[in-house]
């Protein structure tokens, strides 16, 4: 049996110390894993900037976070649509204007197994444009603001990338080998997997540009 250094219950957020004075930027933070990450970081005293597409849902999320954490919670919202590269550029500029250094950029927002083939404002297949290209641009625009000592870029993924690595070399990049009509219940993630792999590997390539970065690999 593999030894767990954190004990029977494994790693839990309770192990995180005070994060006062630290700033975190999270994409897709108005629900799901992004919302939960924001809540944990806020409870530790950090400042959280949410990058979300839907303004109404973002305001509701901020109200819910302040209700759970306290009115003093330092949470704000900047509108960003990953399906529009112009929106990503504008959001990055707003993040820069909001403060100085960033302790971590958490790339969490994504779409999966969309029932109808769609394209972004810039003409890219939706999975590719939203999950990968939008975040790739955001990382490149903001990595100069990461703290040289300890700044991090976190890419939220899934086990699907392991299967995607097998199919990337043979998939036309414009369509991601996506059928015209593919119901989420029977797609089996075929359109989602290669984009997950692409998102992870290309962000790693971007990180290698950082002067303080260390060698990284997918495993």
The per-residue pLDDT for range 74-104, each reduced to its tens digit, is 999 999 999 999 999 999 999 999 887 999 9
Confidence of residue 217 (pLDDT cuts 50, 70, 90): very low
User: Would residue 7 count as lying in a domain?
Assistant: no
* Residue closest to 98 by CA, chosen among 42, 37, 49: 49
Would you state the pLDDT for residue 42? 98
User: Residue 95 sits in a domain of what CATH number?
Assistant: 3.40.50.720
User: Would residue 9 count as lying in a domain?
Assistant: no
Please tell me whether residue 146 adopts helix, strand or coil conformation: strand
Q: Residue 114: pLDDT above 50?
A: yes
User: Would residue 60 count as lying in a domain?
Assistant: yes
Question: Token pair 């219940």 is at which residue?
Answer: 185
Please tell me whether residue 71 adopts helix, strand or coil conformation: coil
User: Would residue 92 count as lying in a domain?
Assistant: yes
> pTM for this structure?
0.77
User: Would residue 5 count as lying in a domain?
Assistant: no
Distances (CA, A) of 38 to 9, 29, 33, 99, 136: 22, 7, 9, 18, 21
The whole-number average pLDDT for the span 97-116 is 88
CA separation for the pair 212, 123 (Å, rounded): 35
Domain that holds residue 77: 19-207
Question: Token pair 């219950």 is at which residue?
Answer: 9
Q: Residue 207: pLDDT above 80?
A: no
* Residue closest to 131 by CA, chosen among 27, 61, 11: 27
Position with higher pLDDT, 176 vs 53: 53
User: Would residue 14 count as lying in a domain?
Assistant: no
Q: Residue 185: pLDDT above 50?
A: no
User: Would residue 170 count as lying in a domain?
Assistant: yes
pLDDT digits (tens, 9 = 90+) for 120-131: 999 998 888 999
Q: Does residue 147 contact residue 101 with C-beta atoms inside 8 Å? A: yes
**What is the total count of domains within the chain?**
1
């Amino acid at each position: 049996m593999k030894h767990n250094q954190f004990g029977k219950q494994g790693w839990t957020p309770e192990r995180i110390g005070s994060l006062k004075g630290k700033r975190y930027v999270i994409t897709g933070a108005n629900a799901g894993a992004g919302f939960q990450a924001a809540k944990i970081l806020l409870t530790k005293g950090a400042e959280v900037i949410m990058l979300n597409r839907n303004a109404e849902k973002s305001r509701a999320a901020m109200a819910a976070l302040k209700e759970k954490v306290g009115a003093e919670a330092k949470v704000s919202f900047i509108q960003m649509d990953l399906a529009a590269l112009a929106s990503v550029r504008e959001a990055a500029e707003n993040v820069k204007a909001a403060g100085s250094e960033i302790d971590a950029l958490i790339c969490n927002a994504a779409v999966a197994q969309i029932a109808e083939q769609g394209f972004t404002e810039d003409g890219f297949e939706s999975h590719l444009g939203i999950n990968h290209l939008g975040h790739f641009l955001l990382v490149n625009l903001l990595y100069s603001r990461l703290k040289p000592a300890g700044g991090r870029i976190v890419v939220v993924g899934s086990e699907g990338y392991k299967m995607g690595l097998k199919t990337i070399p043979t998939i036309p990049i414009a369509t991601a080998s996506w059928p015209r009509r593919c119901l989420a219940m029977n797609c089996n993630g075929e359109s989602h997997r290669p984009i997950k792999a692409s998102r992870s590997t290309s962000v790693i390539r971007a990180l290698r540009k950082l002067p303080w970065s260390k060698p990284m690999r997918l495993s």
